[in-house]
Homo-oligomer: A and B are copies of this chain.
Amino acid sequence: MFGDFRLDEQERDALNAISSKIHKPAKCRIYAQDEPARYLYIIRSGAVRLEYQREDGRNQIFAFLWSDNMFGTTENGLYRASAVTLIDTYLFQIPYPALRTLIESRPRIQALFLQHALKYTKATERHVLLATCSLVTKRLAGFLLECSKQADFFDRHSHILTLAMDRKDIADYLGIALETTSRTLKVLEDMDLIKRLSSQRMQINTEQIQMMMSR
């Protein structure tokens, strides 16, 4: 909203002073839904999924997050979703009380969090667009495009995308059955939009996918 904002050196130091650097291996729960929210996290490297357990037992993934993303927002002092690492992940862990104090003395730091919040909101809106595509082919194709925006996992030259999540995760993100994920990947392959190299690696034809999406 308010353009590009960067902390100056002093501000970064102040924030660093209250943060701890922590490490989590793959498939490790960082916190659980409805647990008191003590920390805010920023991803230094790795990948995380935010998932919401529905009352009926189904799982809804809200977001996949990569380097430089923030997570751990609260509703009435509790985490709204669980956070789970997809792969080996390094994080900044910032205790809320210290953060609140810091922001009071340095209100400019808040701009950083506003910026993150707006970025997350945009991502969630894109998520709504994906999850409400009438055809699953489009949902999945759109999802692969989203993933291919992550430089760490997509090689621009070979066009090879490496997925950090499994079929179930994709299904839970798009609101479909995991079998449908598999089947639809096959459909995309038959349409020559992707080529599966292994279950986690595929070569994707970004332009053609984009064309297909708009029809």
Q: Is A108 an interface residue (CB 8 A)?
A: yes
Determine which of B107, B125, B174 lies in contact with A124 in the assembled complex, contact meaning CB atoms within 8 Å.
Answer: B125
Closest to A81 in B: B125
In the assembled complex, A156 has its CB within 8 A of some CB on chain B: no
- A54 CB to closest chain B CB, in angstroms? 7
Q: How far is the CA of A81 from the CA of B131 in the complex (A)?
A: 17
CB distance from A193 to the nearest CB of B (A): 16
A125 to B33, CA, bound (A): 14
| Chain B proximity of A73: nearest CB distance (Å) | 5
Partner of A215, one of B56, B74, B103, B215: B56
Query: Is there a chain B Cβ closer than 8 Å to A14's Cβ?
Result: no
6 A–B pairs (Cβ distance < 8 Å), ordered by A: A1-B40, A3-B100, A60-B129, A81-B125, A131-B132, A132-B174
